Structure 1
Amino acid sequence: MITCIIRYDIEPTQHEDFAKYARNWGQSIPRCGAKLIGYFAPYEGSSTLAYGIYNIESLAAYEQYRRRLASDPLGRENYAFTQERKFIRREERTFTILVSSPHTPEVNT
């Protein structure tokens, strides 16, 4: 299992646009084959940093997922929405693997 972390640089005055974008992906991403962990918008601190995080089985599964997402009607609509509203200034994807498992239970003292 790999985790894709998308880091967004968004317009600070367009958080509502980003929230709509995130809700749309909340429908499309699972339908197209990835397990969405969630989209995270600025709350405190930076007003421009946001994240999207999902799990997928492998890079090969990711390629299939991307093809399905590109043909998904809501996925295409969401992409057009970002082009029209221009609330995403930059995005970058990082693929990670979990290396801290199994986690050690906390000890209450």
Structure 2
Amino acid sequence: MITCFIRYEIDPFQRELFAEYARRWGQIIPRCGGYLLGYFLPHEGSNYEAWGLIGFDSLAAYEAYRARLRTDPEGRANFAWAQAQRFILREERTFTQGVEGTLGLPAHTTTAPHTGAAA
């Protein structure tokens, strides 16, 4: 699988509009053939970067998705709304491939170290 890693530069004063934009994609992207891994807003650090991650079986699958997206009424409306509201200042796409054995691993829980003190 490949992942389309989208980096957004957003207006930090309009982050709720970006959140709404992302929520709308939650219905549109899967319908058009993408595996939505998620959208992410800044929490600490830089307040103007947000990300979207969408998985595809191949670049050909991505191209087919883009073609479907261009004809999807809700997708077109979401793009138009974002342009009208101007909360996305810049957008960059990079295609990545996950390293097998490193994706979706759960955290390991550990017990507190033994201090030697009596209970």
TM-score w.r.t. structure 2 length?
A: 0.84
Structure 1 residue 42, shift from structure 2 partner: 1.3
Which residue matches 1:102?
101
Q: Distance in 2 between matches of 1:77 and 1:44?
A: 31
Alpha-carbon distance in structure 1 between the residues aligned to 2:83 and 2:4: 22
1:47 aligned residue: 47
Structure 1 residue 91 displacement after superposition: 0.5
Structure 2 runs not aligned, ≥5 long: 112-119
Q: Which amino acid is 2:69 matched to?
A: L
1:37-64 deviations in Å (ceiling 9; x for gaps): 1000111111100000011011111110
The two structures have a TM-score, normalised by structure 1, of 0.91
Unaligned runs of 5+ in 1: none
2:33 counterpart letter in structure 1:
G
| 1:5 CA displacement | 0.5
Provide the residue aligned with 2:27 in structure 1. 27
Q: Which residue of 2 aligns with 1:38?
A: 38
Counterpart in 2 of 1:13?
13
Aligned identity (percent) is 59
Larger of the two Rg values belongs to structure: 2
